[in-house]
């Protein structure tokens, strides 16, 4: 966790939950597992207020708790959960493209409340969706339609159950269960039970044995969004998109089919998918997209490509292929960093950078020769890159005294190092954009408020001349300024979204890099 990430986390909390929450968040970011009384005394907030804040943060899956071995309860913050909030718009959009508008509303509601019960969220979505349909004059939908969407999302693991609380002997909640089986997280409750309850009381649900929940408390099963599943989805999308723009769309489809097949078989964080035979790929492809010989050609084409996304691992079953996810992400990150170098330092620097990526270790003299730029300029560019930490040197001394005159200085690019540096800059840029947006809004709050109020009043007035009069209270110069501010905010929001795209690829790559290190050792 770097300082930049901390800043972003703090700001996100401030933006979405208010100032006091960000104060508690800041404290927890620094000293993560802490008991309640410490938090309230260190943050100088009222204990009751801190309790409320912790409840909110637990509800939003940001804080978890567990029992210390001395018996008190400790609260710890999950920074990943806060940073995931950056991608919420993307999650919602993803749900929309996969399952339509009802799923979009569903996901929006789940994300907003953090943990929800199925019956409640369905009720809310039903109402909202039907209202929207009514205004556009379309047919209403039934409850089973929304229930269907919900179960679809659960079945594809986009939604999962929240962890059940562990209770102590005195029936107090002391922590959250650690589930052994993954399957239980995605088990839907028996939907027919609700109907049974109405005429005979039926067998009590598993959890309600100790305390019968009142009707408005629901079934006690809470659902949340499964972030990892979404990230996996985005990762696959990025890989497919990369190959489709490099070769063509059909190649992308082949890869997509492979990823879909391997999804079920491969463990969550495996750097290489399990081998899949050509037959399996062929069966998974949409029908009449391509004939089998063409598929085999495509597979060998992707294998031979310099990107190393795919590799042939066996000949059984018409040929076994597996996708190297780590390699694919590394290629994406390289492309990302290359474009950063190009846009920041120009194409000549990019040439130096590429030469170093290709040849790994080079002496200064060799670089000057390889890039075919005049020695003086090359030297200048090389040291610019060096001072910005995009390249590093390795000293190899001929003698043990490391005297400079008897030492080779080899320049090299360490992709993992550069990736984490660029990532850090992304977070910094993101934080700056967010802060700038906030100040921009605060500076012009009076003006924006006024406009909004006027519009609200104008909307309620029916007489046209009166409405014009009201709208004219905003002077032309004010109008101009409002437009300017709105444009700035729009731009900053846009930049936030697009920085997030970059952050996603970099984060993914670094995660897989760590995983690979772990696998190796």
CA angle 216, 217, 223 (to 5 degrees): 120
Q: Where are the extended beta strands (E) located within 286-422?
A: 310-314, 320-323, 362-363, 392-397, 407-412
Distance CA 391, CA 463 (A): 68
Q: How far is the CB of 182 from other proteins (least distance, A)?
A: 21
- For 109, the enclosing helix (H) or strand (E) is helix 101-113
77 DSSP assignment? E
Beta strand 73-77 with 63-67 is antiparallel
Is the CB of 235 or the CB of 298 nearer to other proteins?
A: 235
359 to each of 350, 351, 381, 410, how far by Cα in Å? 14, 12, 18, 11
Q: How far is the CB of 89 from other proteins (least distance, A)?
A: 4
Closest Cα to residue 65, out of 175, 225, 211, 165? 175
Q: How far is the CB of 53 from other proteins (least distance, A)?
A: 7
Q: How far is the CB of 174 from other proteins (least distance, A)?
A: 7
Q: How far is the CB of 231 from other proteins (least distance, A)?
A: 16
475 DSSP assignment? -
Is the CB of 25 or the CB of 275 nearer to other proteins?
A: 25
Residue labelled with tokens 């209202």: 131
Q: How far is the CB of 56 from other proteins (least distance, A)?
A: 5
Closest Cα to residue 207, out of 218, 199, 196, 191? 218
Is the CB of 59 or the CB of 481 nearer to other proteins?
A: 59
Is the CB of 114 or the CB of 189 nearer to other proteins?
A: 114
Q: How far is the CB of 63 from other proteins (least distance, A)?
A: 10
Distance CA 261, CA 282 (A): 11
- Residue 341 and residue 390 in contact, taking contact as beta carbons nearer than 8 Å: yes
Q: How far is the CB of 238 from other proteins (least distance, A)?
A: 14
Is the CB of 81 or the CB of 493 nearer to other proteins?
A: 493
Is the CB of 256 or the CB of 444 nearer to other proteins?
A: 444
Is the CB of 81 or the CB of 296 nearer to other proteins?
A: 81
Is the CB of 325 or the CB of 430 nearer to other proteins?
A: 430
Distance CA 422, CA 427 (A): 9
């Amino acid at each position: 966790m770097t300082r930049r990430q901390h800043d972003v986390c703090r700001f996100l909390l401030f933006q979405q939950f208010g100032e006091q929450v960000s104060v508690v968040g800041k404290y927890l970011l620094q000293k993560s597992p802490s008991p309640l009384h410490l938090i309230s005394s260190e943050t100088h907030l009222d204990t009751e207020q801190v309790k409320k804040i912790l409840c909110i943060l637990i509800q939003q899956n940001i804080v978890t708790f567990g029992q210390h071995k001395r018996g008190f309860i400790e609260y710890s913050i999950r920074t990943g959960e806060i940073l995931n909030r950056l991608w919420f718009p993307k999650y919602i959009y993803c749900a929309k493209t996969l399952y339509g508008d009802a799923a979009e509303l569903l996901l929006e509601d789940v994300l907003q409340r953090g943990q929800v019960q199925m019956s409640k969220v369905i009720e809310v979505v039903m109402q909202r969706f039907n209202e929207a349909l009514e205004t556009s004059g379309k047919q209403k939908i039934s409850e089973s339609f929304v229930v269907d969407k919900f179960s679809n999302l659960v079945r594809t693991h986009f939604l999962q159950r929240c962890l059940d609380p562990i209770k102590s002997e005195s029936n107090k909640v002391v922590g959250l269960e650690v589930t052994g089986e993954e399957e239980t997280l995605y088990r839907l409750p028996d939907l027919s039970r609700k109907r049974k309850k109405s005429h005979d009381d039926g067998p009590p649900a598993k959890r309600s044995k100790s305390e019968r929940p009142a009707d408005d408390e629901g079934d006690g099963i809470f659902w949340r969004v499964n972030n990892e599943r979404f990230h996996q989805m985005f990762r696959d999308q990025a890989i497919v998109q990369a190959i489709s723009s490099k070769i063509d769309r059909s190649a992308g489809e082949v890869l997509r089919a492979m990823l879909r097949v391997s999804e079920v078989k491969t463990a969550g964080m495996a750097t290489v998918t399990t081998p899949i035979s050509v037959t399996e790929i062929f069966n998974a492809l949409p029908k009449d997209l391509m004939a089998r010989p063409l598929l085999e050609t495509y597979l060998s084409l992707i294998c031979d490509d310099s990107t190393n996304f795919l590799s042939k691992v066996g000949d059984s079953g018409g040929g076994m292929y597996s996708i190297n996810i780590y390699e694919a992400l590394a290629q994406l990150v390289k492309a990302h960093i290359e474009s950063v170098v190009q846009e920041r330092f120009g194409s000549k620097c990019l040439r130096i950078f590429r030469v170093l990526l290709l040849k790994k270790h080079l002496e200064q003299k060799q670089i000057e020769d390889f890039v075919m730029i005049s020695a003086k300029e090359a030297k200048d560019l090389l040291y610019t890159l060096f001072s910005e930490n995009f390249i590093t040197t390795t000293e190899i001394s001929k003698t043990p005294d490391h005297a400079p005159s008897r030492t080779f200085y080899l320049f090299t690019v360490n992709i993992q190092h550069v990736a984490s540096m660029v990532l850090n800059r992304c977070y910094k840029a993101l934080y700056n954009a967010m802060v700038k947006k906030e100040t921009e809004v605060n500076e012009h709050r009076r003006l924006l408020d006024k406009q909004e109020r006027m519009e609200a009043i104008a909307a309620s007035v029916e007489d046209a001349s009166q409405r014009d009069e009201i709208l004219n209270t905003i002077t032309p110069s004010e109008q101009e300024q409002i437009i300017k501010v709105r444009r700035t905010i729009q731009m900053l929001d846009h930049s936030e979204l697009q920085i997030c795209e970059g952050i996603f690829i970099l984060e993914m790559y670094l995660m897989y890099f760590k995983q690979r290190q772990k696998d190796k050792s």
